Amino acid sequence: MLVLLLLGAAVVYAGPIKDETKCGYESCIKYDPSVLNVHIVPHTHDDVGWLKTVDQYYYGSRNYIQKAGVQYILDSVIKELWQDPKRRFIYVETAFFWKWWTHQGDDVRHKVHTLVRAGRLQFVGGAWSMNDEAASHYQSTIDQFTWGLRKLNETFGACGIPRVGWQIDPFGHSREFASLLAAMGYDGLFLGRIDYQDKRARLRNREMEMVWRGDDDLGNSSDIFTGVLYNTYSPPPGFCFDVLCDDEPIIDDPDSPMFNVDERVTTFFNKVREMRSHYKTHNILVTMGDDFQYQDASMWFKNLDKLIQYANLKAAKDGLDIKLFYSTPDCYLRAVKDANPTLPIKQDDFFPYASDPTAYWTGYFTSRPTTKYFERLGNRYLQVLKQLQVVSHLKEHNKFVLNELLSAMGVMQHHDAVTGTEKEHVAHDYERLLDAAIDDASIIARQAFNKISQRSDTKPPIYEYERCRFNESSCSVSENSEQFVVTMYNPLGWRVKQPIRIPVVEGKYSVFSPKGEEIETQLVKIPDFVQNIPTRQSKATHELVFLAYLHPLGVKSYYIRRKRNISKRNTKKSNDIYLNVNDYFKNIKDNIEFEYIDDVNRQEKDVPEIYISEPFRSVNKKIDIQEKIDELSGDTADRKVLKDKSGAQVSEKLENDNDKIDDANADKADWNVLKDKDSTKDYIDEVERLKGIERVLYRSRNYPFVNDDEIRMLADEPAIIERADESYIENEHFKLRLDGSGQITHLILPDRTSNFNVQFFYWTGCVGDNKKPEQRSSGAYIFRPKTTQPFGMSLNITGKPIGRVVQEVWLESDQNVAAIVRFYDKLKFMEIDYTVGPIDITDGSGKEYIIRYETNIVNNGVFYTDSNGRQYLKRKLNERPQWNLTLEEPIAGNYYPVTNDISIDDGVYRMSVLTDRSHGGSSLQEGQIELMLHRRLLHDDAFGVGEALNETANGKGLVVRGRQRVLFEKSDQRVEKQKRIYEYHLEPIVFVADAKDLELNDWVTLDNCFIGLKKELPEGVHLLTLEPWSEGRVLIRFENYLQKSVNSTRAVDFNDIFSFLTFVRFRETTLAANQWLGRDKWTWNKEKEFVGSFNKNYGSFDDVSNNGEEDSVTADDGFVIQLKAKQIRTFIADYVISM
């Protein structure tokens, strides 16, 4: 079928090209289906950074690290291809190809065009890099394919379109990636690495090639042929003819004493016959190449020419049914298709990957956690800036900086970048690249925000917006300005409530909404464990916290002013712990019913005070305080006040518990505020009064405090809250109970109470010389703990700021782990903000830190992890769906990649942990979720990187700070959860600008609130992409995130979406926007049918149930398109501005 090219996108070579285009499948040589066809596939595997940086690899610099120079590879290959039309070569990474291409003159470009148009040089994969499949997010995978394929399309047209995926080195393969590739129109996918047990079984059963279903909801449109290469991607042993190899060349001079043609050909025949016995058709694919090979391509091609020539001669002479020829993966796939085999099916994924019994490649799911976070942050910037460029209709030349960011993000997807398996200096180079790209592209936000606020792009800008390091609670503008503007953009198609935390120095601040109304805020101290992060350079001591209510595709600004002329008395007051706590509770008492805060249409209440929430201690700690008071005052008489008021029984219990708390811990408290006896007395009275108010407060909510069983378990009397040694934090959705020792014990929901705890542990890594599997070390790739139980650490409460916007508990251990557990007012998640590191290695042992969430959910060893942030796969402890597992690594072998989400479920309730980056995770014990947060190791695991994963910064072990959001909800609540996931993945990007010359009165006259959508997108619809494509043209993707059901199709009306533009025409493309939609999809004979749902059928695959009924398909109608469940539809659309 004819492949149409994208109009307007083609910047095709304009020189004289003969009309003899026979690229793609048409360029494949005629083969004889009755003989064994040996497809000789010359290739090079060029990592976009690994042991060397991208540029070091490209230029061939630092060859003492690795002899690798990509420019020479391409120079050399083109020269060799040109010499003989039989030769073939494939190229994969467009990041390198494009760099090389831009350096070539007309002569070379002409040759390359000729080679591409004749199918002699073919692109496979073709994305910017060969992306990882564990830590990468589907949005970024789609972007990096779109970017790489666009370059190929613009340069070579139809002949530059890759037809097969080429994921030969990534360390495990995701189901979502298979689904994406199918949606991009690829005909097949080739893999290099699958689990050694899986591979053994597949070789034995001739199941190396299969039909893989990428997504149950999408059904056969997500099916893709998938082939596993025989020898990863290397040549058969003994047949590496590269300058980097030592194998014997083919010596064909019969007079030479070294003549070896017969021996070489016979050996090769033996190898290909062995290969053939594991595949179903008369075709085998022999990879002839390896990492950074073909720098001197003549060595390879000269020997391959001879191998092919003499092998075919021998076959003809001896009457052997075998034929060798230069080929490509495309041509191999075409030949397999023509052979029409019946293939086995695959419906799960290829995680985790083990290369031998002790080598589970599950460490890289977490390796370099700060790089993984930065990559995710980069995506947020990219999506926001792409949208802002369109939304605010900025000048087209900004595409230059957007492209820089697209390139940097494409590089980050590489399977040695986001994975953390690169050398330390390379990781720093990736960060440099991405940081520079974000910095340059941020000009778009500056222009857009200034334009929107002034309704003009001709006026000089009024703001100089800066990026902040919110992840370290630092921001130079807000720390140094008396008044400043905070502007943010919500890239989602629905309204979101977003907690905003602005780092500031201590003081009193007013925050004003776009109309100049003061909104409710809370000043929360930044804990010492954050302030002391070694890389942090900030004088901020507090964060100003408020909730922002953001419109779909909305820009919103807030004006923040530090209060001036603070009286001496007030200053004193702000330093006083209990007077502020006092203020807080007084206010709570006065306003027991919280008002729904929405700064769009709410009636602003006058909220003049800012609540300065100093660490507020649990009641137990108050007893500590009591002791301290006694000590300080030398007066023990006051102690009776508490005893008398609390009742003897309670006091006795408290005193017992109190014994457990060590003095060192008590000393941590800041006692300086206790200045005299009067305040001591005030304090004790206050404690009593607060307890009374707390009770009132708790009663005012709709919670059962604990269920009946727990009440029996915890106390004899029902009024559990009367116990003085416990405390709570809460919002309207949750309540968290802490006991006197600082342990979180329960989570109380409106209709359920669960045991609950957040714990930190570490695994210690195995150490060995890696010469045998049993001597394997834990390293950048491999997770291999020494023990079957991790080492625990105890946490103490060191702060408990409570206010109307946020309630927090600070937990600290003495092993450089600390966490903040918090609830924001109204928001239906628990947030865990952790700080881990420097990991102590003074005992000579590498450690891998984990967080565990413990509940009483009965999950029966089953948990769910996401696939690149999109679909869920059921995991069972110690099991694999398709083969009988022998597990020598019971911990590492049960780890799976978590891109966004891991959950456990008891059929009624589900706990999900949403992450801000990728991790390795599992559920090793009932009711638990475990995520690995940080790794510091002292040994290499011998898979090439040659360095221990021992990250340092400023001379100390690296400190990692991250956040997770924990959701508790009914098992059937999928839609809400999906929205929470998007809201976390695409949190608004916040910029801050000084406003010292801009008074509030003037500021309110500006346009401080912009709404990009006419209305929210229908529930179930996500605007996955809004990207400038060319003048007056955008790339737009809508995604239906619903699971298949009778009511899961959604309609979207193109001209009832955006408030600022009107579409005049649009046309649908494949997912990566390099082909118009409409090319026929290949179908294959299958050994059996797919089940309706892998997750439902895992464990009982013989039941071919067809669950998940779908509603009948409605056709598109004009500008109204229909999105089926899980479908992503991609369009190129022309628009006019209607702002």
Residues carrying an active site annotation: 169
Question: Contacts with Zn ion in 46-75 (CB under 5 A)?
Answer: 47
Q: Which helix (H) or strand (E) element contains residue 200?
A: helix 196-204
Name the nearest CA neighbour of 410 among 145, 176, 71: 145
Interface stretch with Zn ion, choices 161-169, 584-592, 832-840, 1076-1084 (CB under 5 A): 161-169
Sheet containing strand 36-42, edge to edge, reads 283-288, 36-42, 322-326
Report in angstroms how near the CB of residue 131 gets to Zn ion at its nearest.
11
**Sequence letter at residue 502:** I
Residues in a beta bridge with 1122? 1051
User: In 10 A of CB 63, how many CB atoms?
Assistant: 12
Give residues with Cβ within 8 angstroms of 840, minimum separation 6: 815, 816, 847, 957
Shortest Å, Cβ 45 to Zn ion: 6
CB of 253 to Zn ion, least distance (A): 38
Judge contact between 668 and 662, C-beta under 8 A.
no
Using the minimum distance from each CB to Zn ion, give the nearer residue, 47 or 375: 47
> Given candidates 169, 217, 725, 808, which one binds Zn ion under the rule CB under 5 A?
169
Q: Which stretch binds Zn ion (CB under 5 A): 165-173, 236-244, 780-788, 814-822?
A: 165-173
For tokens 């955006």, name the residue: 1058
Q: How far is the CB of 414 from Zn ion (least distance, A)?
A: 8
The rounded Cα 857 to chain-centroid distance in angstroms is 26
**Interface residues for Zn ion in 263-322 (CB under 5 A)?**
none
> Which of these segments, 166-174, 489-497, 852-860, 910-918, binds Zn ion (CB under 5 A)?
166-174
**Minimum CB distance to Zn ion smaller for 57 or for 546:** 57
Given the complex with Zn ion, which of 48 and 949 has the nearer CB atom?
A: 48
The residue ranges of DSSP E strands in 564-645, in sequence order, are 611-613
- Cα separation, 109 vs 118, whole angstroms: 14
Cβ distance to Zn ion smaller for residue 91 or 465: 91
Question: How far is the C-alpha of 245 from the C-alpha of 261, rounded, in Å?
Answer: 19
Question: How many residues contact Zn ion, by CB under 5 A?
Answer: 2
Question: Which of residues 42 and 507 has its CB atom nearest to Zn ion in the complex?
Answer: 42
Nearer to Zn ion (CB atom), residue 47 or residue 543: 47
What is the β-pairing status of strands 209-213 and 791-792?
A: unpaired
In angstroms, the CA 505 to CA 544 distance is: 9
Beta strands in 526-574 (DSSP E): 542-550, 554-562
Measured from the CB atom, is 68 or 931 closer to Zn ion? 68
Residue 49: CB minimum distance to Zn ion, A: 10
DSSP single-letter state for residue 83: H
Shortest approach of Zn ion to residue 297 CB, angstroms?
A: 20
The smaller minimum CB distance to Zn ion, of residues 169 and 290, is found at: 169
Which residue type sits at 990? V
Question: Is position 348 an interface residue for Zn ion (rule: CB under 5 A)?
Answer: no
Structure-token pair, residue 546: 């408020």
Name the residue type at position 524.
Answer: V
Both tokens of 1097, joined, read 């059928």
- Which residue is nearest to Zn ion, using beta carbons? 169
**Closest distance of CB 233 from Zn ion, Å:** 9
Contact pattern from residue 8 through residue 47 relative to Zn ion, giving x for each residue in contact according to CB under 5 A and a dash for the rest: ---------------------------------------x
State the SS3 of 124-145. CCCCCCCECCCCCCHHHHHHHH
Closest approach, Cβ 149 to Zn ion, in A, equals 20
| Cβ atoms of 929 and 809 closer than 8 Å | no
Cβ 95 to Zn ion shortest distance, Å = 13
**Is the distance from CB of 334 to CB of 25 less than 8 angstroms?**
yes
Q: Taking the complex as a whole, how short is the minimal distance between the CB of residue 734 and Zn ion, in angstroms?
A: 44
Using an 8 Å Cβ cutoff, are 24 and 163 in contact? yes
Cα distances (angstroms) measured from residue 859 to each of 18, 193, 885, 906:
65, 31, 21, 5
Q: Which residues pair with 1134 in a beta bridge?
A: 1033, 1065
Q: Name which of 47 and 812 has its Cβ closer to Zn ion.
A: 47
Q: How many residues does the chain have?
A: 1139
> Is-contact 801 525, C-beta < 8 A?
yes
Q: Give the nearer residue to Zn ion in terms of CB position, either 49 or 988.
A: 49
Pick between residue 50 and residue 374 the one whose CB is nearest to Zn ion. Answer: 50
Cβ proximity to Zn ion, 48 vs 1035, nearer residue? 48
Residue among 683, 763, 883 at smallest CA distance from 195:
883
Radius of gyration of the chain (CA): 32
For the bound state, the minimum distance from the C-beta of residue 375 to Zn ion, rounded and expressed in Å, comes to 17
**CA dihedral (1101, 1102, 1107, 1110) positive or negative:** positive
Q: CB of 1101: closest distance to Zn ion in angstroms?
A: 33
Nearer to Zn ion, 303 or 371 (CB): 371
Buried b / exposed e over 897-920, threshold 16 CB at 10 Å, is bbbbbbbbbbeebbbbbbbbbbbb
Dihedrals phi, psi of 949, to nearest 5 degrees = -80, 80
Say which residues have a Cβ less than 8 Å from residue 417's Cβ, sequence separation at least 6: 48, 49, 129, 132, 371, 375, 411, 430
- Buried-state track 628-654, b at ≥16 Cβ within 10 A, e below 16: bbeeeeeeeebbeebeeebeeebbebb
CB of 50 to Zn ion, least distance (A): 6
Cα–Cα distance measured from residue 875 to residue 858, given in angstroms and rounded to the nearest whole number: 15
The CA distances from residue 810 to 502, 742, 849, 960, in Å, are 19, 10, 18, 17
Q: Which two tokens stand for residue 624?
A: 């500590």
**Chain contacts with Zn ion (rule: CB under 5 A):** 47, 169
